[in-house]
Amino acid sequence: MIPNNPERDLETYLPKNIREKVLINKKKTVAEFLITEIIIFISQIFIFFLCVLFTSNFLRNEKLLAVFVNAKLKSLDATETIILAFASLTVIGILNLIQRAVPNELFIVKIIDNVINQVPKLFYTLSAWFIGVVLAVICFTQNNPDPTNSSILGYLSSILIMLTFGLLCGTGLAFILNHKNLLKS
């Protein structure tokens, strides 16, 4: 009989030949989960901000900045977001069907779980590139003020809307998909 010692890891109870083949993930608290998701989202915002920075010669070339911003903002609309959400749900459904068709294949189940867990990142990506582009525009307009147009409040409100959308959709979906892997307090 194995003694119940909460200080000792489960890994130490497994024989070495099994321990090397099994990956044991430690469960996270809800706070750890939320912090991880927020950091992932902020990292993606920073990546897209850097893309704009590099594309516009470090925000020194207004023409390059305008071309990049116009291309990115024209490609984002509500229809595309709704289509993305429905496509994501369709993929989750198809993968769930495959998982139910081959329920005993652990390798397939792990692959499907990993694919499904990437879907919330799509919402982060949609929101993050918008926020990154708008942050770059704010930086540019602050460094190169235009007396005829100073709508920083409009920019900040659009960032707040997309930040809320990204966090609610991305983190919410990630929580729904991973709530079983969280510690119950």
> Collapsing DSSP states into helix, strand and coil, what is residue 108?
helix
pLDDT at 9: 57
How is residue 11 written in tokens? Answer: 């890994």
> In this structure, what is the dihedral angle of CA atoms 173, 176, 177, 180, given to the nearest 10 degrees?
150
Locate all alpha helices (DSSP H) within 56-77, ordered by sequence.
Answer: 62-74
Tens digit of pLDDT at every position of the chain (185 positions): 455 555 555 556 666 666 556 555 677 888 999 999 999 999 999 999 999 999 999 999 999 999 988 887 777 677 777 787 788 788 888 888 888 888 777 787 788 888 888 888 888 988 898 899 999 989 998 888 776 666 788 888 989 999 998 999 899 989 998 888 787 76
Is 177 buried (19+), middle (13-18) or exposed (0-12) by CB count in 10 A?
Answer: middle
Query: What is the pTM assigned to this prediction?
Result: 0.73
Domain ranges of the chain: 30-181
